[in-house]
Amino acid sequence: MAALHNRISQKELKQRLLAETEPRTTISFYHYFPVADPKAFRDELFLHLDKLNVFGRIYVAHEGINAQISVPMSNFEAFKNYLYSISPLNGIRLNIAVDDDGKSFWVLKIKVRDKIVADGIEDPGFDMENRGKYVNAEAFNRLTENPETIVVDMRNHYEYEVGHFESAIEVPSDTFREQLPMAADMLKDAKEKNIIMYCTGGIRCEKASAYMLHKGFKNVFHLEGGIINYVNQAKENGLPLKFRGKNFVFDNRLGERVTEEVISKCHQCGTPADTHVNCANEGCHLLFIQCEECKTKWEGTCGPECFDFIHLPLEEQKEKRKGVDKGRNVFNKSRARLRPKLSELQKTEQGQ
């Protein structure tokens, strides 16, 4: 029987990816549909996609599928034909990456989850079938010409920080499950207005639009295919781009350039910057924005504590890292976790 999971080390897989000469295309897609047996569906997907040398991260649940992957160009049509052979997925939109070097993933991971988007919704009356109206790039631009239209960003703060739509409202919470009730509360006096929800690829804002309708809002829209599809449509049709800056993505690239405008700042020195990195200290891995000058000065670390740590002997580093859960800082959603690091750095810079 064929293996249903990867058996090669992450290090070797990454080296193989870097050695590849054939171009790859980074794609994201999702679809809400009933999956009777997520485990069986997961195993079938793995067998077919592994044969096509697909890399990426895919979540499967009773409510559907959520995928971010890369596909060798020579296998793209075979991948598409296979995907579309699955009846509920026939013809679904495939979001092609905006700014892609083909090095976004180096292994295929398909996991079964309770939900493809953790939402905290337990109300049995909630229905994903009753969701907001799709808007494409042209309709989005037209609707947002009206100053009464409310645009809501349903992403995390570190995504919003480096790029967002003009006049978009940020919902300042740490998780999507917290964002949903918070967005409804923030807009409770605007139930009759046009509200457009958006996110990276469409999966979060589609669920958010259904939640808002569930809470009594009347005119709810969501951006079809999210920022990725909007940018592609706008470029293809010569439409004005209303997105500013960089679109954060959850793969090795950590972002794709949409406009040349840099709207965020280096978390260490405050100069304009929008490059996300994970702290070079293996016991930290904090996600933060770092400019090239600070990258050189601090050797890729987030501050003096981690800078000193990476200069310890390797055996001492390994001993000190034992039992440390570095995963809590990777793609960390909480501003609160970042503040102590920046405060510590600022004191160092000021000579305190």
Which residues are the active-site residues? 199
Q: Are 258 and 241 in contact (CB under 8 A)?
A: yes
Instruction: List, as own/partner pairs, every contact residues 3-6 make where C-beta atoms lie below 8 angstroms and the sequence separation is at least 24, other chains included.
Output: 3/50, 4/43, 4/46, 4/47, 5/46, 6/107, 6/108, 6/109
Q: Which residues contact 81 (CB under 8 A, 6 or more apart)?
A: none
Q: Strand pairing partners for 72? A: 24
Check residue 201 and report its DSSP letter.
S
162 HSE (CA, 13 A, CB side)? 26
> Strand, coil or helix: what is 24?
strand
Q: Is 265 exposed, middle or buried (0-12, 13-18, 19+ CB in 10 A)?
A: middle
Structure tokens at 162: 């480096």
* Closest CA relative to residue 301, chosen from 277, 335, 324: 277
Label the pairing between strands 133-135 and 108-112: unpaired
* CA dist., res. 352 & res. 344, Å (int): 10
* CA dist., res. 269 & res. 141, Å (int): 35
Structure tokens at 178: 């917290």
Kind and range of the H or E element at 151?
strand 150-153
